């Protein structure tokens, strides 16, 4: 079924203990689309400035990623982010942030995208996420991401958004902050009470937790990788694979959600293996399936 992603497209400068990647392609919509394209066609909806040096036809060559919704705005500059990862790379500092085109009027959604059934509202202002959601006709399953600064400074808009979506995908610190609760299971339940029927809490190298309003819970460890070069985009790759699988099977029941979380975990484990998109572009679907089966064996008892 049709899958739509709205989110940022960025030019990144990334430093990790493994090296530096300058002026590389990034952004939530880009990582999401690349990961989701292993499972389902993707409709990318986003905006870049005329300074963007990347040819997106080449970036997504051989992938079923629809680019009709990509606006190139003349005279504007593309969103830029620079960050440094420290130590074991669980900590990151933002060195520079230039919102540029993201501070301008958002792009207009193509009519052909408005019948999308599965939607991911990647991290941006909650008010903008709501505005984008309202342009889609009766989606089957709408998921969103958020971050600490929106929880802290835009909580009213975020709470309105939570009443409109089916699923919230956030990390453990954000879940605790949003719920005002340290215990992650209790935090997830409090977030469920705010509106969505599904909450996925990402815990980095400690895995993830899936909770739904019917009482279903699923706890999964991360795939055991031996080398992490660049964690940028891991969460968006997780969400892309998760939503891509759900769109592929056309279902969002609890068993489908569990399988989708496993695929999200596996694809994220590839994303962190190299800088920018290289961890995702270097693999084939068969490698994802092999790692999926390996994780199944590692977690069965």
At 46, give phi and psi (nearest 5°): -170, -175
Place of tokens 């920018």: 276
Q: Are 273 and 232 in contact (CB under 8 A)?
A: no
Domain that holds residue 106: 3-299
| Alpha carbon distance 244, 39 (integer Å) | 5
Q: Are 8 and 52 in contact (CB under 8 A)?
A: no
The number of distinct structural domains making up the chain is: 1
Render each residue's pLDDT in the chain as its tens digit; 301 residues: 799 999 999 999 999 999 999 999 999 999 999 999 999 999 999 999 999 999 999 999 999 999 999 999 999 999 999 999 988 887 888 899 898 998 888 888 999 999 999 999 998 889 889 989 999 999 999 999 998 888 988 999 999 999 999 999 999 999 999 999 999 999 999 999 999 999 999 998 899 999 999 899 999 999 999 889 999 999 999 999 999 999 999 999 999 999 999 999 999 999 999 999 999 999 999 999 999 999 999 998 8
R_g of the chain, CA atoms, integer Å: 18
| Alpha carbon distance 51, 74 (integer Å) | 8
How many residues in total does the chain contain? 301
CATH code of residue 67: 3.40.1190.20
């Amino acid at each position: 079924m049709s899958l739509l992603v709205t989110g940022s497209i960025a030019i990144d400068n990334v430093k990790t203990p493994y090296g530096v990647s300058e002026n590389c392609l990034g952004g939530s919509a880009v990582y999401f689309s690349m990961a989701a394209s292993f499972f389902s066609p993707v409709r990318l909806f986003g905006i870049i400035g005329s300074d963007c040096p990347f040819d997106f036809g080449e970036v997504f060559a051989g992938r079923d990623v629809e680019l009709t919704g990509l606006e190139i705005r003349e005279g504007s500059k593309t969103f830029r982010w620079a960050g440094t990862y420290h130590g074991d790379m669980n900590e990151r500092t933002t060195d520079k942030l230039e919102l540029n085109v993201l501070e301008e009027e958002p792009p207009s959604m193509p009519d052909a995208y408005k019948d999308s059934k599965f939607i991911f509202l990647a991290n941006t202002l909650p008010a903008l996420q709501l505005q984008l959601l309202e342009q889609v006709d009766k989606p089957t399953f709408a998921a969103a991401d958020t971050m600490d600064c929106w929880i802290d400074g835009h909580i009213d808009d975020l709470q309105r958004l939570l009443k409109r979506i089916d699923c919230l995908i956030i990390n453990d610190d954000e879940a605790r902050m949003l719920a005002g609760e340290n215990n992650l299971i209790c935090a997830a339940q409090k977030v469920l009470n705010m509106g969505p029927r599904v909450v996925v809490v990402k815990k980095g190298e400690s895995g993830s937790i899936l909770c739904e309003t019917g009482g279903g819970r699923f706890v999964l460890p991360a795939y055991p990788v031996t080398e992490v070069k660049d964690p940028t985009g891991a969460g968006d790759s997780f969400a892309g694979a998760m939503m891509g699988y759900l769109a592929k099977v056309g279902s969002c029941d609890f068993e489908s959600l569990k399988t989708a979380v496993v695929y999200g975990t596996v694809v994220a484990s590839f994303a962190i293996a190299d800088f920018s998109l290289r961890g995702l572009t270097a693999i084939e679907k068969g490698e994802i399936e092999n790692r999926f089966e390996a994780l199944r064996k590692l977690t069965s008892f």
